[in-house]
């Protein structure tokens, strides 16, 4: 089966190779060396001096950690789909008061609307933004939104689960306080690792919030960061895999080259989709560089396309949340060869014709 999923994605072969190695203790010199090197790679990749924590959880663990450490009472959640909604739900279930901005599905967060909302809600402590909303295939104008959040002096919490590694994020320049992702997306590593940066301001806030919890407590993580380790058992195979892909990216000539690979795959898929008469769901100009969310016509549902493609050896992704039946998605993250894109698009053309479309 060739994977064009939106996570977990196909893993890079060299990643799988290093993950086979025998285990060692997460308190050993071997681990500390691996941890430190991986953290340094990530700091350079994200252009940040902020400390990087490697959570033994998926990305949602970092989402919960961001809420618990950076918000005492009130957060503003920007919602463009299911994952923005999840951020708000996590905040509600952790006892926070949640303000929201929720444009119609497929439209980005507008910097002007955000500015107006923050002017009306001065007691908001932090703002959450989903950089790349995987459920709708939309990318938000993060650097512009970040400028607004910083103008109002709020903490900025960014879900970069399906963008980190696939498109540039300048953590320090943009002023992001918590920027997190998961191993199973653009880095092409198996699931189980939450990867994120935590600014000095976020860390300071975590020292004053009530009930930050233990597992994702930034203060405890900071203590272990200084020892090049993690408070609990580290997910060593995933960290070794992440370390390997960051090395590969370096060998490829740096992160811009890796982003260009994602853009090229995405461009080929999107151009062909449009040639086949299909349309992309999000508003023009805000299409995700790491996946395409494609509208299905009225008489065919997205799940039929997904199932027919699977029968022919290609796993795409079903529509998600409110778009379950009316869209399907094609991911372009992880280990994908260009010839497989061509083959997948040819098969999609056959499936489309089979469906009388």
Ligand X SMILES: Cc1ncc(COP(=O)(O)O)c(C=O)c1O
Select from 232, 353, 220, 259 the least CA-distant residue to 297: 353
Nearest to ligand X of 132, 308 (CB atom):
132
Q: Does 159 bind ligand X (CB under 6 A)?
A: yes
174 — phi, psi (to 5°)? -85, -15
Q: Does 292 bind ligand X (CB under 6 A)?
A: no
Q: Which of 5, 162, 229, 327 binds ligand X (CB under 6 A)?
A: 162
Q: Could you give the angle at the alpha carbon of 146 between the alpha carbons of 230 and 168, nearest 5°? A: 65
Q: Which of 130, 167, 206, 266 binds ligand X (CB under 6 A)?
A: 130
Nearest to ligand X of 336, 351 (CB atom):
336
Rounded Cα distance, 4 and 220, in Å = 38
Q: Does 136 bind ligand X (CB under 6 A)?
A: no
Q: Does 290 bind ligand X (CB under 6 A)?
A: no
Could you tell me the smallest distance in angstroms from the CB atom of residue 256 to ligand X? 23
Q: Does 161 bind ligand X (CB under 6 A)?
A: yes
Nearest to ligand X of 269, 351 (CB atom):
269
Q: Which of 3, 7, 167, 246 binds ligand X (CB under 6 A)?
A: 7
Q: What is the DSSP string of 115-178?
A: HHHHHH-TT--EEEEESEETTTTEE--HHHHHHHHHHTT-EEEEE-TTTBTTB---HHHHT-SE
Q: Answer whether 42's CB lies under 8 Å from 52's CB.
A: yes
Nearest to ligand X of 156, 351 (CB atom):
156
Binding mask 8-47 for ligand X (x = CB under 6 A): ----------------------------------------
Q: Does 234 bind ligand X (CB under 6 A)?
A: no
Beta partners for residue 328, in sequence order? 294, 318
Rounded Cα distance, 353 and 318, in Å = 19
Q: What stretches of the chain show up as alpha helix (H) in DSSP? A: 13-18, 29-45, 59-70, 82-93, 111-120, 142-151, 171-174, 200-206, 218-225, 236-252, 255-275, 302-311, 338-354
Residue entry with tokens 């993060």: 142
Could you tell me the smallest distance in angstroms from the CB atom of residue 354 to ligand X? 29
Q: Does 289 bind ligand X (CB under 6 A)?
A: no
Part of the chain binding ligand X (CB under 6 A), chosen from 35-43, 159-167, 231-239, 273-281: 159-167
Part of the chain binding ligand X (CB under 6 A), chosen from 156-164, 235-243, 256-264, 277-285: 156-164
Beta partners for residue 334, in sequence order? none
Half-sphere CA count of 312, side-chain side, radius 13 A:
18
Residue entry with tokens 């909604």: 85
157 — phi, psi (to 5°)? -110, 115
Could you tell me the smallest distance in angstroms from the CB atom of residue 226 to ligand X? 26
Binding mask 83-102 for ligand X (x = CB under 6 A): x-------------------
Nearest to ligand X of 141, 297 (CB atom):
141
Give the interface size with ligand X as a residue count (CB under 6 A): 11
Q: Does 110 bind ligand X (CB under 6 A)?
A: no
Nearest to ligand X of 320, 345 (CB atom):
320
Rounded Cα distance, 38 and 25, in Å = 17
Binding footprint of ligand X on the chain (CB under 6 A): 7, 58-60, 83, 130, 134, 159, 161-162, 182
């Amino acid at each position: 089966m060739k994977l064009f999923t939106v996570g977990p994605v196909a893993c890079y072969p060299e990643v799988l190779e290093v993950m086979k190695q025998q285990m060692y203790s997460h308190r050993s010199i071997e681990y500390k060396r691996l941890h430190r090197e991986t953290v340094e790679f990530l700091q350079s990749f994200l252009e940040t001096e902020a400390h990087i924590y490697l959570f033994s959880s998926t990305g949602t663990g970092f989402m919960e950690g961001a809420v618990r450490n950076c918000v005492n009472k009130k957060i503003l959640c920007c919602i463009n789909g299911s994952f923005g909604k999840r951020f708000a739900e996590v905040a509600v279930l952790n006892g926070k008061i949640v303000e929201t901005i929720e444009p119609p599905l497929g439209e980005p967060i507008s910097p002007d609307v955000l500015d107006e909302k923050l002017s009306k809600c001065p007691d908001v402590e932090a703002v959450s933004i989903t950089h790349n909303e995987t459920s709708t295939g939309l990318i938000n104008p993060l650097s512009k939104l970040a400028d607004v959040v910083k103008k109002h002096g709020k903490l900025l919490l960014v879900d970069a689960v399906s963008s980190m590694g696939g498109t540039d994020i300048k953590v320090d320049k943009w002023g992001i306080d918590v920027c997190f992702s998961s191993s199973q997306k653009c880095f092409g590593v198996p699931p189980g690792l939450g990867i994120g940066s935590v600014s000095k301001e976020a860390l300071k806030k975590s020292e004053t919030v009530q009930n930050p919890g233990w597992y994702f407590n930034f203060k405890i993580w900071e203590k272990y960061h200084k020892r090049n380790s993690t408070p609990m058992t580290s997910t060593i195979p995933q960290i070794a895999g992440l370390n390997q892909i960051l090395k590969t990216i370096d060998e490829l000539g740096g992160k811009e080259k890796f982003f260009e690979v994602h853009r090229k795959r995405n461009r080929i898929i999107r151009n062909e989709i449009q040639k086949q008469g299909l349309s992309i769901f999000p508003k023009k100009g805000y299409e995700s560089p790491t996946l395409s969310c494609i509208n299905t016509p009225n008489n065919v549902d997205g799940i039929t396309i997904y199932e027919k493609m699977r029968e022919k050896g290609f796993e795409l992704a079903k529509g998600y949340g409110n778009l379950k039946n009316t869209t399907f998605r094609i991911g372009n993250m992880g280990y994908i060869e260009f010839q497989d894109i061509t083959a997948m698009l040819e098969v999609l053309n056959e499936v489309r014709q089979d469906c009388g479309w």
